[in-house]
Chains A and B, each alone.
Chain A
Amino acid sequence: MADTPKPEKTARINHIPPLMKGWMDTPVEIKPGIYCYGAKPKNTKAVGMPYPKEWNPTDDDWQLPENWKDIIDEGLRDRRDKYRSMKLFMDICVRCGACADKCHFFIGSGDPKNMPVLRAELFRSVYRKKFTLGGKIFGKFAGARDLDEDVLKEWWYYLYQCTECRRCSIFCPYGIDTAEVTILGRELTNLVGLNIDWIAGPVANCNRTGNHLGIQPHAYIDMLDFFVDEIEDITGLRMEPDINRKGAEILFVTPSGDVFADPGTFTAMGYLMLFHYLKSLGLDITWSTYASEGGNFGFFTSHEMAKRLNAKMYSEAERLGVKWILGGECGHMWRVINQYMDTFNGPPDFMEEPVSPITGTKFKNANATKLVHIVEFTADLMKHNKLKLDKSRNDHLKVTFHDSCNTARAMGFLEEPRYVLNNVCNNFYEMPPNTIREQTFCCGSGSGLNAGENMEVRMRGGLPRANAVKYVHEKFGVNMLSCICAIDRAVLPNSMDYWVPGVDVCGLHELVANALVFEGEKKRTLDLRAEYLPGMEDEEDV
């Protein structure tokens, strides 16, 4: 058998010995399933972003403005002078590689340019050429390169393959935060009219209608009414949510995804039920159709856009004259609230220190922003035994908890959700330690990457998280993945569908509402999803 072909011969995979090829000499290839569609001009125009145009990332010509290099140059200079983080993170990386294998996109794809250090180097190389002596003199030998169209395309391709989850930053000995690099990098791409439509569209819609789908106020009410009907079917009680009511004590703001898409809708029903339960105990709360989006896709565009969208919250609170704001379960909404909101649009002096009207607890940790997280609000109620709960109603569920990147690594909101979970269900199983809490893996679709056209990259990015879920699914029979983030609720069902069929996704307040025992309710046979509660399968559904 002299002719036996060698395995390498069959391997048609294009094997340029990458050993000999540095990353700078490996040009970017824009691949379907990975990239998101370019922003439509109507969306960028609607919010006044520069250079609106119809463009397709797979085209050779990206229709850049003639002076695009100057624009980027100016943008870089401007940001260097405004953000110490940028200057520092460009200067001090030693390329130790501690972050390299911490990114879910790298783990799932194996694409070396998804290593956080390299994602930043794409950027740093240009910075060196422009601003450092060594870069100017030694060029490539100093790791510096000129900015040209291919480099810009490479930036764009990889900046929109980062979910700003900050997992790498936890492991960096100098705290270099790739999210910060991505945020500033995306700002630059926006300066020359390069955004993705899945971000630009929601931004334009949120700006105008207050939610990412462009649903008008009356339809928003229809949705809430629909929930009220559903809840009545399940509990026999009729919720009466207040909308845009002046003089209420508390304004409730939640991501609009909870109101419009399953399974977030069940979480929204949970909120409605909790508020109704507390009404007789003294809760005075209103929803708003104007500030109906807690999430902030502006944050995935630029700091300025984030500020513009975020401004609505305080503005509405002032108009309605509320004392403080209660915020729903959401990831990046809370990153913005915790790390940016007061600085952006504060101080909200027209409000008061948040105090729970039911327990009297002062939320001292929310003294400045006046925004309380609904999970800490509920945890406080539970601590004071203000809620009558029947845990066994969630006995059909074996639950695990996914820490959202933003609440975990930009806030440190770790114990409150677990406390709530332990109060509403009997079967709670943690995923392995290096996949939860501050080391949590991203859902794979955060920071505006939950478009449809990039499903492959989303699935890759979701693999590390799904893999940990699969482990508890197989080991403990976990069938419910709970989380406190609207994007998680929108994207994890897909990830589960692909990687771990048999696991559903829910928000915490869906489980809370399942367990909540109302006075005068009819015999509960169904959970919020209209599925039979354990032991109720034989009951007649009324």
Chain B
Amino acid sequence: MNFIISILFSGIAVSVIVLIPWICIGAIDGAFMRSLFGIIIPYAAIATFLIGIVVRVISWSRSPVPFRIPTTAGQEWSFPWIKSNPIDNPKGMGGVILRMIFEVLLFRSLFRNTRLEYLNDENGPKINYEWEKWLWLAALAFHYSFLVIFLRHFRFFLDPIPGFVHVLESLDGFMQLGIIPFNGFGMPGVYITDGLLLAAVTYLFVRRIYIHQVRYISLPADYFPLFIILGLGLTGVLMRYAIRVDITAVKELSISLFQFSPKVPDGIGVIFFIHLFLLCVLIAYFPFSKLMHMAGIFLSPTRNMANNNRFKRHVNPWNYPVKFHTYAAYEDEFREKMIEAGIPVDKGVEATSESGKKE
């Protein structure tokens, strides 16, 4: 297994996933196909997604955390005159929550990966960002763009469109004011997040090939979700800017899905079904994959526990007694030598001769 096979495998898999709805809707079509791809598969995927995540999280939480093993990345709480670092080395719940917030929302550990280098060259001091910075940035751009795009999609799920969607859209679309000061040519407003997401996914893919270490460790399971998301993004962008679909019909479909009275209106283009099918595959695949890091991060015992073992007892639910070498056994073995060396003993010399007799 080398990286070319890995990429080919994932690439072919995603191509097949794109082709299935394309052929089924574009070539075969019919009421059955439309309800299969518009209703049955989406419901099945959502069910798999929800049940899968719940099952996985339950499975994780059923394994206990026998020891409290946080990784400490700062000064522990000790004397009042020593400044502790309550976030990187939390003493209690409050610190843990803060640490998790930084971790989940800002990818703090990944940021630590970054190094700022101050170089002095002939043009004076210069700041040099190491490549690690890009991983953090791309990860941040990727996840937040995804989130914003997901929230923007609420305009298709809810009627009336909630206020936050409008706010997001105007924030996300502010660029068009700067670049294209007028709306025209039939072009809708350009969203920053669309571009960001595609750029970030592309970066995450390219770095997997370009950085040799990462290429060496990458599996098909690493390329596959990237390709799916790339496909998802591309079809979405195409729909918005090039191959227009009947938005009203799409909204009708999605609202009917959420109201559990599904019906597929006529006139929705095939590209929408490709988009939807990619999404279905992604969310159905989610619980079985590394994408579960989204839920896993909350349970990670090195991050979600306080470093307070020395003053707060942690109980291991399966703790069991062990046999250890007791002092009595130790003294029995060495009593004479201990007495000779003047080390206090529990039992006298007579015990030595007794234990000697027993043997």
Contact = CB atoms under 8 A, between A and B. Distances in A.
Direct contact between A and B judged by beta carbons closer than 8 A: yes
Interface of A: 18-25, 80-88, 91-98, 100-101, 112, 115, 117-118, 121, 132-134, 138, 140-143, 166, 169-177, 180, 207-210, 216-218, 221-222, 243-246, 289-290, 303-304, 307-309, 311-312, 315-316, 319, 337-344, 346-347, 361, 364-369, 371, 376, 379-380, 383, 408-416, 419, 434, 438
Contacts of A369: 309-311
Contacts of B312: 367-368
A342 B266 CA distance: 67
B249 interface: no
Given A166-B71, A175-B109, A319 B217 contact: no
B341 A177 contact: no
A315 B326 contact: yes
B83 A132 contact: no
B313 to A, nearest CB: 5
Contacts of B319: 343-344
Contacts, number: 304
Given A95-B214, A315-B327, A343-B66, A20 B2 contact: yes
Interface stretch (B40-48, B74-82, B228-236, B348-356): B74-82
A173 B103 CA distance: 7
- Residue picked from B213, B310, B322, most chain A C-beta under 10 Å: B310
A144 to B, nearest CB: 9
Given A100-B217, A246-B344, A87 B59 contact: yes
A319 B68 contact: no
Nearest to B56: A91
A290 B327 contact: yes
B76 A411 contact: yes
B252 interface: no
Interface string B102-125: 010001011011010000000000
A134 B289 CA distance: 9
B330 to A, nearest CB: 5
A115 B213 contact: yes
Nearest to B297: A174
Nearest to A87: B63
Interface residues of B, number: 96
Contacts of A344: 316, 319
Given A180-B69, A217-B343, A83 B221 contact: no
Interface string B1-21: 111101001000000000000
Given A115-B213, A342-B314, A347-B313, A142 B73 contact: no
Contact of A338 (B1, B4, B309, B324): B309
A88 B333 CA distance: 45
Given A92-B292, A100-B213, A207-B325, A173 B309 contact: no
A210 to B, nearest CB: 7
Given A97-B213, A170-B71, A380 B325 contact: no
A339 B330 contact: no
Contacts of A81: 62-63
A347 B310 CA distance: 11
A221 B342 CA distance: 9
